[in-house]
Structure 1
Amino acid sequence: MTRPDSSAKTQTLERTQTQKPRLWRVLLLNDDYTPMDFVVDVLVGHFRRSEAEAQVIMLAVHHKGQGVAGIYTRDIAESKVTQVTGEARAAGYPLRLLAEPEGNA
């Protein structure tokens, strides 16, 4: 009778599935004090929008109360909110931005 070789080891291969990170929307909120030109400059400079896209988004903010500046991973969205808020405050404007998970109404 032979004994199994105790030096033989079984290897287990685990396969993990990676998931894409959840995306977050950066929203610009309307206020009565921030000039429309400043909002357009922010959209072009920070969110890489064309002048025409920036005008459309700015008008959505003005007429509907908010507009989507961009969609990013959470870290990037939060960084953009912080950067733009700081720039707006330095310029003396109360512009508000929010980052929220994609898919919220």
Structure 2
Amino acid sequence: MVLERKLQKSPPPPMYQVVMLNDDYTPMEFVVDVLQSFFNKDEHTANMIMQKVHMEGRGVCGVYTRDIAHTKVALVMDAAAQAGHPLQCVAEPAQE
């Protein structure tokens, strides 16, 4: 007798959103450049996100699995530090 194994579907991994936080010192051009470089946003979308960060205090750059989100945060924080900007970026569980 041969028993068939049922394939079990594992749930999708939890998603995390990368959120950029506003500060009064980081130039808007730098924020746009970061959004284009690390999040592959086109110029229009990067400007829209930058304006949201500027006006509302925070803006979502993208939604990724946990490891990718934390890697993107680290890349942004390193780039900001190297450029001498206090830009802050965090990863938090995505709202469903």
Q: Which of structure 1's runs of 4+ aligned residues deviate more than 6 A?
A: none
Deviations along 1:20-51, one digit per CA (max 9) or x if unpaired, are 11111000000011000000000001000000
Equivalent residue in structure 1 for 2:57, among 36, 59, 65:
65
* TM value normalised by structure 1: 0.85
* Seq. identity, %: 46
> How many Å apart are 1:15 and its aligned residue?
3.1
Verify: 1:38 aligned to 2:30, yes or no.
yes
Deviations along 1:73-105, one digit per CA (max 9) or x if unpaired, are 11000000001100100100000001011117x
Instruction: Tell me which amino acid in the other structure corresponds to 2:83.
Output: A
Structure 1: state its 5+ residue gaps: 1-8
Verify: 1:24 aligned to 2:16, yes or no.
yes
Aligned pair count reads 96
Verify: 1:92 aligned to 2:81, yes or no.
no
Which stretch shifts more, 35-44 or 12-21? 12-21
The whole-number CA distance in structure 2 between the counterparts of 1:53 and 1:17 is: 35
Q: Which has the higher helix share?
A: 2
Instruction: Tell me which amino acid in the other structure corresponds to 1:90.
Output: Q
Note the aligned Cα RMSD (angstroms): 1.4
The whole-number CA distance in structure 2 between the counterparts of 1:80 and 1:35 is: 20
> How many Å apart are 1:13 and its aligned residue?
2.5
Look at both structures and tell me which one has the larger radius of gyration over its CA atoms.
1
